[in-house]
Copies of this chain bind each other. A is one copy, B any other.
Amino acid sequence: MQQYKGWDEFHSKPVEQKIPLFRKEGEIFDVLYAQQFTRAELEYLFLIADRIRNISKTRNGMRFLGSLLDDKRAMLFFVQPSTRTFLSFQNACHILGMKTSEIRDASTSSEVKGESTEDMIRTFSSYVDLIIVRHYNEGFAEKAAWALNTHASRPVSVINGGSGKDQHPTQALLDIYTLERAFRNIGGINGKKIAMVGDLNRGRTVRSLCQLLSLYEDVEFFFVAPEKFAMRGDILDALKTKNIKYTLTEDFQSVIPKADAIYSTRLQDEYDIEAESNAIDYTHFYFKEEYLSMLGKNSVILHPFPRRNEIAVAVDKDPRALYWKQARNGMWVRMALILKLFGRENEAFNFA
């Protein structure tokens, strides 16, 4: 990365150009964008996650998992409010035996004393072996990884736990892991029809998930959104380039019978500039209990949570409602990812 004058120049480059720089010895070292993963890498992660999940079922297995990274320490730098992602990562670390440190309030940090981001992150890297960041600024995680790779002598991986409106790659990993498990016995993700529903313009999870789903064959998308919050052009262009079929629509009900998976999302009104969400009747994008009868018997419903009213609580009991399993899958897939970053997944495979 030495050829760039600074992060601003680096940041302006296309993601594809940056991806190789966040690999070491052929392997992903920093986890910043959903696009970093090849399909083989995804499938390997899911294999590790399955293995960990299996080992975790006994007390002895839990103790074994707790020995895998008991010499390592992680830091969670989560200055954007988050409960779910924070807990998921922290407990993933804890199960693997890692000790964790957390900064959750920027005002307790040295930022107030005028330190540069580069210095701050490099300082963190003095104390821990892994840095997980969630920040309201787009690109913050990339900047952190860039700073460490450019300056620091001690190699420390950075994982993006969500940055601004842009990327949330580990959410995409858990989403696709959930889909892969759901479709495992019915042909896998290839050829499936995925409906993404809601505020697709500002929901970073759907953006990242689209990128990962593009790695599979003959996947088809329905983007069900109010016109004002339709899927953004950059994603649509990328799909076009790859000859992936998609349909834009506001008519949720017509899509339900055709979809193998419904991926429901909430209105991201925290990004409103002038209360534009108020002009939308979002109830059109709610999954109501009566829709269950329209849904295919092998189809599934996902939601990245938190949920407001996008899916009726009565739907929770239906076996096709996978969103609670999906939440827990986040912990397993994050464990798989962390174990892989430290190159210790073989120990899990070798566990008797």
Main secondary structure of the interface of A (DSSP, over half): helix
Instruction: Scan A281-303; emit 1 where CB is below 8 A from any B CB, else 0.
Output: 00000000000000000000000
Neighbouring B residues of A59 by C-beta, 8 Å: 71
Once the chains bind, are A94 and B99 in contact (CB under 8 Å)?
A: yes
Tell which of A27-35, A85-93, A224-232 binds the partner. A85-93
A113 touches B (CB below 8 Å)? yes
Closest 4 pairs between A and B when the two form their complex, measured CB to CB? A62-B71, A115-B306, A94-B99, A91-B127
Which A residues between 46 and 95 are near B, CB-CB below 8 angstroms? 59, 62-63, 66, 70-71, 73, 75, 78, 81-84, 86-88, 90-91, 94-95
Please tell me how many copies of the chain the complex holds. Answer: 3
Give 30 A-B contacts (CB < 8 Å), ordered by A residue.
Answer: A59-B71, A63-B71, A66-B71, A75-B87, A81-B108, A81-B109, A81-B110, A81-B112, A82-B108, A83-B120, A86-B101, A87-B101, A87-B124, A91-B99, A91-B101, A91-B127, A94-B99, A94-B101, A104-B105, A105-B105, A105-B108, A113-B306, A115-B308, A116-B307, A119-B307, A123-B305, A123-B306, A126-B324, A126-B331, A127-B328
A128 touches B (CB below 8 Å)? yes
